[in-house]
């Protein structure tokens, strides 16, 4: 399906001037894929690392790791999502800076009606990072009652979510 889709591409690493708003062909999803129509995208520091070449990507490259939108088409074998579902993601492959895209379905989650697309696109990477820190880092198995948590940047996205989550767990 082509509706004059566009995406941000870079041909070489550099500053913001290398960002190019480019017509792209999205196509139909293959097995295990979804075609998504973005309603909001998340901006993250890793996007700057990709653009600058600090974390090199094969060129030409699409940028952006996080977005929210609506499923437009479902590839073979995808059972947890359907056309029309509101969704969000934060993962590889890069390419969220786009009007629409194909995405591996295993990386996409349903976005509840009560969460705006903008919030969904802004919280996934930070929320997954907080989940990792609170549930997967040492001590093995996550935090236990009486453990202390110290975030040096509790006013940032990850710190704010992690501190609220830790408090909800009764550990702050």
Cα 39 to chain centroid distance, Å, stands at 13
Lowest mean pLDDT among 2-11, 63-72, 142-151: 142-151
The dihedral sign for the CA sequence 41, 42, 43, 45: negative
pLDDT (tens digit, 9 = 90+) per residue, 71-80?
Answer: 999 999 999 9
CATH T-level assignment (fold) for domain 6-168: Quinone Oxidoreductase; Chain A, domain 1 (3.90.180)
Whole-angstrom Cα distance, residue 157 to residue 162?
9
Contact 103, 33 (CB under 8 A): yes
pLDDT at 172: 47
φ, ψ for residue 123, nearest 5 deg: -110, -15
Two structure tokens written together for 113: 């009606």
Question: What are the residue ranges spanned by the domains of the chain?
Answer: 6-168
pLDDT confidence bin for 134, thresholds 50/70/90: confident
What would the two tokens of residue 108 be? 């996409």
Could you give the CA distance from residue 86 to residue 103 in angstroms, rounded to a whole number? 14
27-77: pLDDT as tens digits: 999 999 999 999 999 998 899 999 999 999 999 999 999 999 999 999 999
Average pLDDT, the chain: 90
Q: At 57, is the secondary structure helix, strand, or coil? A: coil
> Would you say residue 154 has pLDDT above 90?
no
What pLDDT does residue 94 have?
95
Of the candidates 68, 70, 100, which has an alpha carbon nearest to the alpha carbon of residue 82?
A: 70
Contact 47, 119 (CB under 8 A): no
Burial class (CB in 10 A: 0-12, 13-18, 19+), 126: buried
């Amino acid at each position: 399906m082509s509706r004059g889709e566009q995406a941000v591409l870079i041909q070489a690493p550099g500053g913001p001037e290398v960002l190019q708003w480019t017509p792209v062909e999205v196509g139909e999803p293959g097995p295990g894929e979804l075609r998504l129509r973005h309603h909001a995208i998340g901006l993250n520091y890793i996007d700057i690392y990709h653009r600058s070449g600090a974390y090199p990507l094969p060129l030409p490259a699409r940028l952006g790791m996080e977005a929210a939108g609506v499923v437009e088409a479902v590839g073979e074998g995808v059972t947890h999502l359907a056309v029309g579902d509101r969704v969000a993601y934060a993962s590889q492959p890069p390419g969220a800076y786009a009007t629409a895209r194909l995405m591996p379905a295993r990386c996409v989650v349903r976005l509840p009606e009560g969460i705006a697309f903008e919030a969904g696109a802004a919280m996934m990477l930070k929320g997954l990072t907080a989940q990792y820190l609170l549930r997967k880092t040492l001590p093995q198995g996550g935090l236990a009652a009486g453990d202390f948590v110290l975030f040096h940047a509790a006013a940032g996205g990850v710190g704010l979510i992690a501190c609220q989550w830790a408090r909800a767990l009764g550990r702050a």
